[in-house]
Amino acid sequence: MSKKNKRRSVRDAALDVIIAVESQASYSNLLLHHAIETNQVSKKDTGLLTELTYGTLQRRDALDYFLAPFLKGKKIDAWVRNLLRLSVYQMVYLDKIPERAIFHEAVEIAKARGHKGIAGMVNGVLRSMQREGVKSLEDINDQEERLAVSTSHPVWLVKRWVEQYGFDKTKEMVEVNIKAPYQTIRINSIVSTREEVIEKLTEEGFMVEASPYVPEAIRVLKGNAANSPLFTEGFYTIQDESSMIVAHVADIENGSKVLDMCAAPGGKTTHMAEKNKDGQVISLDLHKHKKKLIDENAERLKLKNIKSYVMDGRKALETFEKESYDRVLVDAPCSGFGVMRRKPDIKYSKVEEDIHRLSSIQSELLSVASKLVKPNGLLLFSTCTVDKEENNENIVRFLKEHPEFDLETPQVPSAIQPFVEDNMLQLFPQDIDSDGFFIAALRKKG
């Protein structure tokens, strides 16, 4: 296959993922991984495929804003709209791809997927845009709406965050949300050290550096750590830095009995198990296929002290004795607004009602967890979101309803301490260039 054809196939693959994310409401990261595997995309083209897919998804609303004057309300098929978005993304945001190549490949894809008429329309729209230029975002008068469109976030969400955190903090957050994240890994302290893993990965050709925030974390600046034999041999697990902080806050003493009520895929479970060599971690998840992920991770990391169950955490009291755990973690199902960089589809699929519904489930989980913690034990609550209703407000309400608990200062790595406020940790994506994350530690009175 010629180089030219390979590049076209990358765009075809990117278009497939973008269409599937929109039509099936599937997670972009899972679909992209599947596309790389099934299309046998080379390492070089994997970067381009990822850029085109995530870039187009991340900038969807801005691309539609640019396209609107040229489509003039014309009804077009979803795949054609996404082909145009993909092409305009390259024209507006990438500077290394010649426009003639963008036009040619867009037309060829339109012919292959549709017919000559559609190809002509696609060509016409793109050439008009090239000739006339795109409409300025400064033409949007309302500053919150302008911020929302320019960063492709829902207007209601930007207005909600401005109300909760102010315009400047919201602006920082949404601008970081459209930047590509890097991969981070957590070393398995049972089998290796951070220095040893950095040395081995560097020898393999990866570009890595020690995290300045989390002692067991390594940032992968170049390469996919899942492709190293060190991963399959259990030297590390792939996990965001902010997620690693949970096991620090758990402050586990070796030999403890720990319950992780919403555990899949098992990042926090395995981390706590590594810190609890002579103890036990019980892990629950609602879905059988997700329980399997926990078991696979535990086996790969050679951890024998994890036992997993398929179970709704809200029904844990039907199986486990009251006040029988030293630590109970509720890593609650949430809106996921802290991980939009990795899953841009989240910002288009969630609605405000989801926040209220999830907050209610989180509250139920906390209530059950409160009964399972031993006196003097810790109840940990975490989410990968930044919404106050799901985070701070849940904790404040819980403390009012459960006077047997006190909110405790979370035990976090020293570099994270400046981000603790009112004894709760809310990390924003812009704080340490990680996922947005919330953690609270609640101590049951003895």
In terms of Cβ atoms closer than 10 Å to its own Cβ (0-12, 13-18, 19+), residue 104 is middle
Q: Is 265 annotated as a binding residue?
A: yes
Which tokens is 186 given?
């957590």
Is 331 known as a binding-site position?
yes
Q: How far is CA 395 from the centre of its chain?
A: 23
Q: Strand runs (DSSP E) across 126-256, as ranges?
A: 183-187, 207-210, 217-222, 236-238
Task: Show the tokens assigned to 419.
Answer: 């981000």
Q: Is 266 annotated as a binding residue?
A: yes
Q: What is the separation of C-alpha 325 from the centre of its chain, rounded to a whole number of angstroms? A: 29
**Ligand-binding site membership of 13 (annotated):** no
413/211 Cα distance (integer angstroms)? 12
Q: Amino acid letter at 267?
A: G
Q: Is the dihedral of CA 78, 81, 87, 88 positive or negative?
A: negative
Annotated ligand binding at 267? The verdict is yes
247 annotated binding-site participant? no
- Sign for the CA dihedral angle at 289, 294, 299, 305 comes to negative
Alpha helix segments (H runs only) across 301-440: 346-349, 352-372, 392-401, 429-432
Taking phi over 0 as left and psi of -120 to 50 as alpha, with beta for the rest, 433 belongs to left
First to last CA, the chain: 70
- Residue 124 marked in a binding site: no
> What stretch of H or E contains 270?
helix 267-274
Contacts of 247 (CB under 8 A, 6+ apart): 268, 271, 272, 274, 275
CA dihedral 117, 119, 121, 126 (to 10 degrees): -170
133 assigned binding-site residue: no
Q: Would you please indicate which residues are annotated as catalytic (active-site) residues? A: 384
Beta strands in 286-346 (DSSP E): 306-310, 325-331
CA dihedral 194, 199, 205, 208 (to 10 degrees): 40
CB 442 within 8 A of CB 367: no
Q: Give the contacts of 181 (CB within 8 A, at least 6 positions apart).
A: 341, 342, 433, 435
Considering only CA atoms, give the Rg of the chain: 24
Annotated binding site for S-adenosyl-L-methionine: 262-268, 285, 312, 331
Q: Which residues are annotated as a binding site?
A: 262-268, 285, 312, 331
